[in-house]
Amino acid sequence: MSQDKNLLYQPAWRFIDESITARSRSALESFAMDDTLCQLVGQQKSVPVVRTWVHNRTIVLGIQDHRMPFIGQAIEEIERKGYQAIVRNSGGLAVVLDEGVLNISLLFTEQKSSIDIPVGYEAMVSFVKLLFPELGEQIEAYEIVGSYCPGSYDLSVAGKKFAGISQRRLRQGVAVQVYLCIEGSGAERAERIRDVYETGLQGQPTKFSYPVIQPEVMASLSEVLGTPLTVNEVIIRLQLLLRSLTDDVRQDGLTDEELELYGFYLRRVVERNQKMLS
């Protein structure tokens, strides 16, 4: 079995579902949660974790987005349209979060053996293919030019991107994160990000080359499948998938000690975000 598939077959998985509870909270809390779990799993104080999370109307900006010449105007425009703007603590560019977008984080430890960056990405690609067996090998991983937050691990079917994968490493922990556009219109989300770049750049030349968004290259899984699919249905699929990967699935919240660590990471993420946006 390949190393990426091997990563999925763990003796035990811990499942933390925040697909409903996180919706009304800031996405900064999710970044703090992943950092917390990254340390806990990395230091083997927790078994590997699968965490699901959904946030209401948020535009998550990358570090480079934050350097746009008219970023202040872009953020005002984001907020005027009823979205919250935050800056993420890991690589990548702007993405849209809303109630139709499901985020999944897989968290592993490197204590016993290191996990190469491509292996982490491939593990998530395998996971997504297992989640959607009706698409299976139709799901391809390569950069979709014209999409928002483009990268070599964009996931698409017939050239329509529905997901993107990122990675974060901390204290011997590896967090591999995917955003899956499940419901609604992929093109409409892309238009939101196109507006952000139009307002933030206003035709000014910049050292960094920002993506030129073509909304038609983005789709939701509902659109790709040609049949409505909900975030809740995918959560049920995910629970069944976990049970096929291990006999030991643990569904528990954070302990008091883990909550203390989460408080530390949350303060760090919030302070950093305030500095970026001030």
Residues 56, 209: Cα–Cα separation, whole Å? 29
Give the pLDDT score at 4. 60
CATH architecture, domain 3-277: 2-Layer Sandwich (3.30)
Return the CA Rg of the chain: 18
> What does the mean pLDDT of the chain come to?
94
- 149 annotated active-site: yes
Of these residues, 93, 149, 180, 219, which one is catalytic?
A: 149
Contact present, 12 and 49 (Cβ < 8 Å): no
Q: Please list the alpha-helical segments (H only) found in the chain.
A: 3-8, 27-42, 71-80, 117-131, 186-201, 221-225, 231-245, 256-277
Average pLDDT over residues 67-92: 90
Percent of the chain clearing pLDDT 90 (strictly above): 87
Give the pLDDT score at 2. 63
Instruction: Give residue-wise pLDDT tens across range 142-200.
Output: 999 999 999 999 999 999 999 999 999 998 999 999 999 999 999 999 999 999 999 99
Instruction: Give residue-wise pLDDT tens across range 27-53.
Output: 999 999 999 999 999 999 999 999 999
* pLDDT higher than 90, residue 234: yes
- Is 240 or 136 the better-scoring residue by pLDDT? 240
Task: Give this prediction's pTM.
Answer: 0.95
Q: Domain segments of the chain: what residues? A: 3-277
